[in-house]
Structure formats: C-alpha cells, structure tokens
Amino acid sequence: MFNKVLIANRGEIALRILRACKEMGIETVAAHSTADADAMHVRLADQSVCIGPPASRDSYLNMHEIVAACEITGADAIHPGYGFLSENAKFAEILEAHGITFIGPTSEHIKTMGDKIMAKQTAQRLGIPVVPGSDGAVTEDSEARRIAADIGYPVIIKAASGGGGRGMRVVNSEQEMEVALQTTRTEAGAAFGDDAVYIEKYLGKPRHIEVQVMGDGKGMGVHLGERDCSLQRRHQKVLEEANSPALTPEQRDKIGMICANAVGDLGYSGAGTIEFLYEDGEFYFIEMNTRLQVEHPVTEMITRIDLVNEQLRVASGQEMSFSQKDVRFQGHAIECRINAENARTFVPSPGEITYYHPPGGLGVRVDSGVFTGYKIPPYYDSLIGKLIVVGRNRAECLNRLRRSLDEFVVGGIQTTLPLFQDLVRNDDVIAGDYDIHWLENYLAQTG
C-alpha cells in the first residue's frame, strides 16, 4: 500500500479522499491553490503544498506544479478526484513516466473512453448495447442523410471530442441535416480542436441510468449496481438515486453483468462508470467515465463498500476487498447536490457562510468541506456539499430526506436547498416517475 497520497483536487471530494486515506493509515498531502489555503481538507491533511493562484489552469490543472509537489513531499501516488485532471490521459502518462502512481485506469483506457467514437466502438465490441447510428465519424452530407433515413428521425449529431453536454445537435428532418451537420462540425472544431462528428438515434424520453464498475487490471471486473441520474438541468445531474426505481432485479443483474464482464475483458483497472440512456426496457450506452463520480456515495450507502478505499487498493496492486458474490444491495439511497446558487435562477452565490448546521441522525451522510465562517471562493464549481440519505426502502429514504432537508441550515449565501425541499414533495418524484427532461419541464412550469 502507498505511504503517502497527494490529493490533486479541492472541496468535498478532496475531503472524501482524505477520509479514506486516514482510515487506511496512509499519509496525505493537500495540493491546493491560494484561494483554498483555509479549506477543511488542507487543515486535516498531514502536509499541504500551494500549487498556484486561484485560476484552475494555474493550479488544479497545472501538471508541472502538481508533479513537483509530489516530488517535494515524497508522495507515491496522486488521487485526481473528479473533474480537473481526472480524465486527462497526458497527466496519467506523465505520472507513469515519473514513477508516480495515478489512482485511476491506464492512460490508454482514459484515451479510448475520452474519444466518443472510439468509446462507442469499444463498448460495442465488448457486448454493451449502444444507440443505433453511424459506425464512426460521418463526413459526407449524403452519408448522414442515408444513415438518418435508416434509423429514422429525429437523430442527434454529436462531436467525437464533446463533453459536459456540449457539442450536440438534434435534427428533426432531412431538410435540417445539411446545416446542422455543418454547424456542429464547425463548433466542434472551434471548441474541442476536433471536428469529427457522428450520428445516432435521438431518444425522446429516456432515463439516465449508469452502472458502477471496478476492475482489478488483471481481467476481473465487478459491478456495484446502478444509479438513476435522470433529474438533470442542462445535462447536469441534480439528484441521484440507487437503485433505479425503473429496474427490476433481473434487469439490474443483466446489465450489471454485461458491464462487469466488459470491464474484465478490457483489463480495466480501478473505478469507472458506464452511462446509459434507458427507454422502453432497452439500454443504450452513451459514455464511460474513467474516474470516481460525484454521485458515488449512493452506491456506497446501499452496498457498504468504500469505493475510494477500493481504488487505493487496486492502484497499489492489492486485490479488491470483495468479489461479485459479496455485493448485496440493501435499501435505497438518494443524493442531493447542494450548490451555492439561487434555487430558481441558478446564479452562483459565493461568499461567507455565516451559519452552518448540517442534518444528522440515522441514515444521513453529508459530504462537504464547509463550516461556519468558510468563504466560498468565486473561482470554482458551485457544489458545496452533498446530502446523502439511506433508508430500508425508497419510501423510508424519502421521509428521511424530507426531514433532513428541513434540518439543513446554511446562512449567509443562497443554496439550492429550497429546490430539493420542493422536489421531495412532488408526486412524480415520490413515484419515481421521471425522465431526463422532467426537471427542465418542471422548472419551466413552476418558474
């Protein structure tokens, strides 16, 4: 096992990683920007190194400074968390060259899954169901029209290098195709430096369901069930739950084993998430994230497996602490992402938290790094914490979530807590009856 791990991230996930390290007796180094000098994870880490000014490109994305921080402190591994450098193949390669362990998959696997066309082809080869569409990149208008006619309109044009919900355009009819193809290619070239696009069937009312996987890098893959992340705003997840209210145990087992076997065949190492759109009983692969996800705690709450602990084990060459037969799903968990934003306009609300009282009690987990007197810097993502609640079943989980949200007090700034207080009292949410467009429609109607 590692002696010392450098955490190349900030906020709640930096603290989450630090906690796992402490429980395993591993020393920690917090690599932080000047804006995060007072952060909780910096205070709790065994050592801390300032890696630059507030702007992410000069600090949390500054590979040179991060490697230097590793060498100065003698850390043997880096945990990248999510976002920032977590899916940067070049960073993983640089660490490999420096003899520092990147806590994640190989740079090759990051590269493959980072290119959407390659990812889709790999998924298909491994037996994962994909959205019907073009075999690879599409360059000619005539080819695009032929494929679209084949699969039927509407279709969606997607940039091979797109991400974060950008670089996509829905096409409703053949008349729109030529302009849409050209615009998406031009935009993709400008935004991602790669104008390759591909086409797939546009699904009208899917759910977003993703499978948590882990690989040992030696041919063994396991799954830890799925998360339903259909409640989204601008393609950003807002509330996530495990298991999905839409799946039967048989469906769960079937898609789970397909993913576990695929990860094993790939020789994948560490944690990953295989994302699907799900409609009318069918799964359609959209992408694989080769890192820990923001919403990983809902999986942890119903499996009682610490995913960061397992990542550290696998990255250091140890065996995972469990195998597929040990994975049991107990109860139901829901996570709410609490952002420092106005709950209606979603305008960021940085500033000083003058009062902070998180909820507690049975089945309640709050992953956050904030405290009374903490000043939220304006330079980063507005996520300030996650409320995760587990119950023996979905109804108990919702009751517990309702009372937890009512207990949660954050003073001095605006947060998205009021949105969740409304959502947990909504009939569709209570029934688990929603698709990926539900929240946008709800916001438009109640706005």
Residues that bind ligand ADP (CB under 6 A): 131, 156, 162-166, 168, 200-203, 208, 235, 275, 277, 286-287, 436
Of the pair 282, 352, the CB lying nearest ligand ADP is at 282
Task: Report helix, strand or coil for 274.
Answer: strand
Instruction: Please state the length of the chain.
Output: 447
Of the pair 234, 357, the CB lying nearest ligand ADP is at 234
Residue 207 catalytic?
A: no
- 101, 77 Cβ separation under 8 angstroms: yes
Q: How far apart are CA 227 and CA 325, in angstroms?
A: 19
Of the pair 164, 281, the CB lying nearest ligand ADP is at 164
Least CB distance from residue 344 to ligand ADP, whole Å? 22
Least CB distance from residue 211 to ligand ADP, whole Å? 14
User: Which helix (H) or strand (E) segment is 102 a member of?
Assistant: strand 101-102
Least CB distance from residue 244 to ligand ADP, whole Å? 14
Task: Report helix, strand or coil for 417.
Answer: helix
Around 252, how many Cα atoms within 13 Å sit in the side-chain half-sphere?
A: 18
Give Dmax (Cα) for the chain: 62
Least CB distance from residue 90 to ligand ADP, whole Å? 19
Tokens in use for 184? 């998406």
Of the pair 201, 332, the CB lying nearest ligand ADP is at 201
The sign of the dihedral angle between the CA atoms of 242, 247, 248, 253 is negative
Of the pair 188, 364, the CB lying nearest ligand ADP is at 188
Of the pair 232, 243, the CB lying nearest ligand ADP is at 232
The Cα angle at residue 382 between residues 32 and 89, in degrees rounded to 5? 55
Least CB distance from residue 389 to ligand ADP, whole Å? 24
Least CB distance from residue 236 to ligand ADP, whole Å? 9
Of the pair 46, 279, the CB lying nearest ligand ADP is at 279
Least CB distance from residue 291 to ligand ADP, whole Å? 13
Angle, to 10 degrees, between the axis of helix 296-303 and the axis of helix 307-315? 100
Q: DSSP strand E in 140-266: where?
A: 155-163, 166-171, 197-201, 207-216, 221-233, 236-242
Tokens in use for 88? 């940067």
Tokens in use for 365? 């987990």
Long-range contacts of 94-99 (CB under 8 A, 24+ apart): 94/63, 94/67, 95/67, 98/67, 98/70, 98/71
Please count the other Cβ atoms lying within 10 Å of the Cβ belonging to residue 418: 13
Of the residues 10, 16, 207, 291, only one is catalytic, namely 291
**What's at 123, amino acid-wise?**
A
Annotated active-site positions, please?
A: 291
